[in-house]
Amino acid sequence: MTDRTPQVGVVGMGYVGLPLATTLAEAGIPVIGLDAVQSKVDALNRGESYIEDVSSERFAPLVADGMVRATTSWDAMRWVETVIICLPTPLDDHREPDLSAVLGAAESLAQRLRAGQLVILESTTYPGTTRDELGPVLERSGLTAGKDFHLAFSPERVDPGRVDWTTRTTPKVIGGLTPECTRRAMEVYGACCDNLVPVSTPEIAEMTKLLENIFRSVNIALVNEMAMLCDRMGIDVWEVIDAAATKPFGFMPFRPGPGLGGHCIPIDPFYLTWKAREYDFHTEFIELAGKINSNMPAFCVAKLAKALNSRRKPVNGSRVLVIGVAYKADVNDMRESPALRVIELLIEEGAQVAYHDPHVPHLAKKGLSSVDLDPELLRDVDAVAVVTPHSAVDWEMISREAPLIVDFRNVVPANDGKVWRL
C-alpha cells in the first residue's frame, strides 16, 4: 500500500459522502473519510462498500492504492486542504430542522481549523445555514470565514440507484462566501466533476437544492391527487400520464405511488417551511404537497381493502404479501419508506403481512424478514400489494400466480381483471 497524504477530508461516509470520496479518489485526489460509526470505518478500510451505488470492486483498489482511507478521528481533518461535510440533516420530533450533526462537526473542526483551509457543506439545508450557522461555529477557532479560511455550500444532487447521472456527470452548483471561496471550491470539484455551476452566494446554492426537491414533491403530489380523482372517476391515470408525456414541450411526467420516501423529498421542503416562518411567510405549496403525499399509504390500503372486499374478504385475517419495502426501486434505503406505513396500517386492520424485497432481507422495525417469491407462496396469499418496483422482481410470475394484485406502481402485467391499479 502506498502512503499518500490526503488532500480532502469527507465528513460522513453515507449515501452522499462515500460516492463523493470515491469520485475524488478516482480523479487522483487522496481522500480521508471520517465517520462516527466504527464498523463503517473498518469496512471501508477493508475496501468494502456498504452503499449500493459504489461496488466493493470499484472501491477496494482505491483503498489498496492508498487513495482512500477512513477514520473516526477528527485530528485527521487538521492536515487536509479541504473538508467536505456530508452529514445528515433530518427533522426533529417537532418536524423542525435538526442541524446537530452538522454543527457538532463544525465544533470539532473549529478546534483544529488552520488558516487557508476550505470547508464545504453539502448537506441539504435552509438558506443561511452556511453563512449564519456553520461560519460562526467555525470562527470559534479564532479564524475569520472568507478571510482566514474559505467557506462554501455545494448541494449534493445524487439520486441513489441511478446510473445515467453520477457524482461526476451531474452538474455541481457551488456558492462561496466570497469569490475566492467559490474559486477554491471550484478547483476541488473541477478535478472530479464534469460541469461546474458557480453561483453568487451560498444562499443561492442552498435555495437551489430546496427548489429542486420541492419541485419534485409538489409535482408528485399533483399527480397523486390526479390518481385519486381518476380512481374515483374510473379513468386510468397511467394512460393519461403517458399520453400527456407525448407533448414535446411544457410537460414533464411524474408518476403516482404509495407516498414519498428517502432522506430528501419528504424532509427537505420542511427546512424551508421552518425558515420561511421567520419571514412571516407560509409555504402553502409545500404544506399541501406534504399533506397529499403523506396520505397516499392510507389511500393505497383503502384501495387494497376495496379489492379484497370485491372477493368477499375483509382485510382482517387476510394474508397480504407486500412486494418491495425500500423507498424506491433498486435500492436498500428504508428511510421514510411509505411501505412502513402501508404495513403498519395493514397490521392495524388485522391483516397477516409478509413481504418480499431482494434489497432488504430484514425489516427489524416490524420484526419481519423477506420471504422468497415462488408460485406456491403467491397462490397461497389473499392479495399482493406492489409498493416498490424493483427490477429484479418477476412481475410476470406475480401476475400469473397471485389471486389478487393491487399494483401501486403500474408494473404488473394485466391478467383477467385480477390486477387492480392505483
**Residue 105 engages ligand NAD in binding (rule: CB under 6 A):** yes
**Residue 87 engages ligand NAD in binding (rule: CB under 6 A):** yes
State the nearest-atom distance from the C-beta of 144 to ligand NAD, in Å: 25
Cβ nearer to ligand NAD, comparing 80 with 419: 80
State the nearest-atom distance from the C-beta of 124 to ligand NAD, in Å: 4
Rounded CA gap, 247 and 256, in Å?
A: 19
Q: State which residue has the least CB distance to ligand NAD.
A: 14
State the nearest-atom distance from the C-beta of 306 to ligand NAD, in Å: 34
Output phi, psi for 416, to 5 deg: 55, 40
Q: How many residues bind ligand NAD (CB under 6 A)?
A: 29
State the nearest-atom distance from the C-beta of 86 to ligand NAD, in Å: 5
Left (φ > 0), alpha (ψ -120 to 50) or beta: where does 334 sit? alpha
**Residue 37 engages ligand NAD in binding (rule: CB under 6 A):** yes
Interaction with ligand NAD in 195-224: which residues (CB under 6 A)? Answer: none
Q: Which strands form 150-153's sheet, in the order they lie side by side? A: 68-71, 31-34, 8-11, 82-85, 118-121, 150-153, 172-176, 196-199
Rounded CA gap, 321 and 270, in Å?
A: 33
Alpha helices for 127-201 (secondary structure H): 135-138, 179-190
Binding part of the chain for ligand NAD, among 167-175, 261-269, 286-294, 375-383 by CB under 6 A, reads 261-269
Rounded CA gap, 19 and 230, in Å?
A: 40
**Residue 35 engages ligand NAD in binding (rule: CB under 6 A):** yes
Collapsing DSSP to helix, strand or coil, 384 comes out as strand
| b/e map 125-163, b = 16+ CB within 10 Å | bbbebbbebbbebbbebebebbebbbbbbbbbbbebbee
Output phi, psi for 385, to 5 deg: -115, 120
Question: Cell numbers 399541501 label which residue?
Answer: 288
Which residue of 6, 9, 88, 259 would you call a contact of ligand NAD, by CB under 6 A?
A: 88
Rounded CA gap, 203 and 126, in Å?
A: 8
State the nearest-atom distance from the C-beta of 152 to ligand NAD, in Å: 15
Rounded CA gap, 206 and 404, in Å?
A: 46
**Residue 156 engages ligand NAD in binding (rule: CB under 6 A):** yes
Which residue of 43, 218, 264, 406 would you call a contact of ligand NAD, by CB under 6 A?
A: 264
Query: Which residues, listed in sequence order, are joined to residue 10 by a DSSP beta bridge?
Result: 33, 84
Closest CA to 32 of 86, 66, 70: 70
**Residue 68 engages ligand NAD in binding (rule: CB under 6 A):** no
**Residue 276 engages ligand NAD in binding (rule: CB under 6 A):** no
**Residue 101 engages ligand NAD in binding (rule: CB under 6 A):** yes
Rounded CA gap, 5 and 14, in Å?
A: 22
Rounded CA gap, 313 and 338, in Å?
A: 24
Residue type, 298: A
Binding part of the chain for ligand NAD, among 121-129, 163-171, 349-357, 362-370 by CB under 6 A, reads 121-129
Which residue of 184, 263, 341, 421 would you call a contact of ligand NAD, by CB under 6 A?
A: 263
Cβ nearer to ligand NAD, comparing 26 with 53: 53
Assess whether 193 carries a catalytic annotation: no
**Residue 359 engages ligand NAD in binding (rule: CB under 6 A):** no
Which residue of 6, 8, 10, 12 would you call a contact of ligand NAD, by CB under 6 A?
A: 12
The catalytically annotated residue of 181, 192, 264, 300 is: 264
Q: Kindly list the residues in this chain that would bind ligand NAD in the complex (CB under 6 A).
A: 11-17, 34-37, 40, 86-89, 101, 104-105, 122-124, 156-158, 160, 262-264
Q: Which residues are catalytic?
A: 264
